[in-house]
Amino acid sequence: MTAAKHDNSVSGFAWSPNKHCLALDGVRGFAILAVTIYRICKELAPNSHPVVAFIQRITSPGMRGVDLFFVLSGFLITGILLYSKGRPNYFRNFMVRRALRIFPLYFLSLFLGLWIIPSVFSTHVFDMPRAEQFYLWTYTSNIRMSWLNGWCFGPFDHFWSLAVEEHFYLVWPAVVLFLSVRGLAATCIGTITIVAVVRTFAAMHANWDTAADVLTFFRVDALAMGSLLAIALNSKLSHARIRSIAWIAALVLFPVLIGIAVTGKRFLGLPSTLCPLFFLAAMAVLLTSTNRSILTKTFASFPLRFLGKYSYGMYVVQLPLVTLVPLAACLHRLPSNPIAQSAVYVAFMFALITCIAVLSFHLLESHFLRLKKYF
């Protein structure tokens, strides 16, 4: 079954089968904006001023941008696999195209961080990941973190999410190939349910704290949610029906998540289920909107699409850069006012992260991306 066989293929919607969706570039841009601002603001000194403490608190939900990335990835990858299912070189083409997108910058960043920078600058910032580098090179850092129940990779701690993505790429193509569409939908629903239940029990035990945050099993439900949306939009369900269900879910979940954010509590891992569910509903609303809607135009706007284009590079470099250039190291160059210090630091770091990501894309990544046409 292909998406083009049903009525939802009519033009006029933000999303249509087998066509590039500008609004999804904006979703990616929104996610990286939230994660990057959160990452930078973590470096601020909340005790220096109540306003700084407030800024740090309101940007802390930005960590959930990773959930949005997972939902988006599940949607895009499943859509690609459904479209290419049954075609020649199904596995080879998918794996090579993913490798061309992910591997060059990832392995270059490891090489620079683990070997070049420590040798040239005699810094100890990368000592932790160097001691555990086997797990970084093999995309198993999240497994190691779960086993040790701790964040043991310093400037590369955030690579746990890339490990989750890589595990998804290795398994999901076979699942899509060998299951019917109905079986695939049932698998997604079952995965979401099982993970939510097991994660609740895991959250009761302190020795599972880190695993509940980073282990692939405990994060695959967000990917399954995105996959479920891809299946729904590629089915005979009307956009109107999907949209009405999504609106109800989003309106119910949003105030609940606001309440959870205000309390700052973990509630036995409940936010890890509810946040991706909200993103699933919000994406469904967006993708079933018309091209002329304010929502679609907002996410298809240039600023968000710009950030979306360079989001991978921004994600890879942000934690190493923030670690190498912390606020404490910049204080003697910044204004004496804590609010001004915070504003200048956030603006400078965001610009630095973005510039390096742009350079990375044009000097490195784009050359490998051109090879995708052969696969």
One digit per residue, the tens of pLDDT, for the chain of length 375 reads: 334 344 444 458 888 887 899 999 999 999 999 999 999 999 999 999 999 999 999 999 999 999 999 999 999 999 999 999 989 999 999 999 999 999 999 999 999 999 999 999 888 999 999 999 999 999 999 999 999 999 999 999 999 999 999 999 999 999 999 999 999 999 999 999 999 999 999 988 989 999 999 999 999 999 999 999 999 999 988 989 999 999 999 999 999 999 888 887 777 789 999 999 999 999 999 999 999 999 999 999 999 999 999 999 999 999 999 999 999 888 888 889 999 999 999 999 999 999 999 999 999 999 999 999 999
Q: Tell me what pLDDT residue 255 has.
A: 94
Residue 201 is encoded by which pair of tokens?
């029990």
Crossing angle for the helix pair 22-41 and 311-324, to the nearest 10 degrees: 10
Strand partners, 13: 290
Going by C-beta distance under 8 Å and a sequence separation of 6 or more, which residues neighbour residue 159? 106, 136, 141, 153
Write down the H helix ranges in the chain: 22-41, 50-59, 65-84, 90-111, 117-121, 127-131, 133-137, 141-148, 160-178, 181-202, 209-214, 216-233, 239-263, 271-287, 294-299, 302-309, 311-324, 327-330, 338-360, 366-369
Q: Tell me what pLDDT residue 4 has.
A: 39
Distance CA 213, CA 211 (A): 5
Distance CA 218, CA 67 (A): 12
Q: Tell me what pLDDT residue 228 has.
A: 98
Q: 344: exposed, middle or buried (C-beta count within 10 Å: 0-12, 13-18, 19+)?
A: middle
For residue 327, give its domain range. Answer: 3-374
Domains in the chain: how many in total? 1
CB–CB of 312/356 below 8 Å?
no
CB–CB of 15/232 below 8 Å?
no
Q: Tell me what pLDDT residue 11 has.
A: 53
**365: which DSSP letter?**
I
First-last CA distance in the chain: 22
Cα-Cα-Cα-Cα torsion 195, 285, 354, 128, nearest 10 degrees, comes to -10
HSE-CB of 375 using CA atoms within 13 angstroms: 18
Please choose, from the candidates 19, 71, 70, the residue with its C-alpha nearest in 3D space to the C-alpha of residue 249. 71
Going by C-beta distance under 8 Å and a sequence separation of 6 or more, which residues neighbour residue 110? 133, 136, 137, 156
Q: Tell me what pLDDT residue 301 has.
A: 97
3-class secondary-structure state, position 13: strand
Q: Tell me what pLDDT residue 34 has.
A: 98
Q: How far is CA 233 from CA 15, 31, 241, in A?
A: 9, 22, 11
Distance CA 375, CA 87 (A): 12
Please choose, from the candidates 226, 303, 296, 306, the residue with its C-alpha nearest in 3D space to the C-alpha of residue 14. 296
Residue 141 is encoded by which pair of tokens?
């850092």
The neighbour count for residue 301, using CB atoms within 10 Å, is 15
Supply the pTM of this predicted model: 0.95
HSE-CB of 355 using CA atoms within 13 angstroms: 7
Distance CA 73, CA 77 (A): 6
Distance CA 22, CA 15 (A): 9
Q: 258: exposed, middle or buried (C-beta count within 10 Å: 0-12, 13-18, 19+)?
A: exposed
Q: Tell me what pLDDT residue 268 has.
A: 79
**138: which DSSP letter?**
T
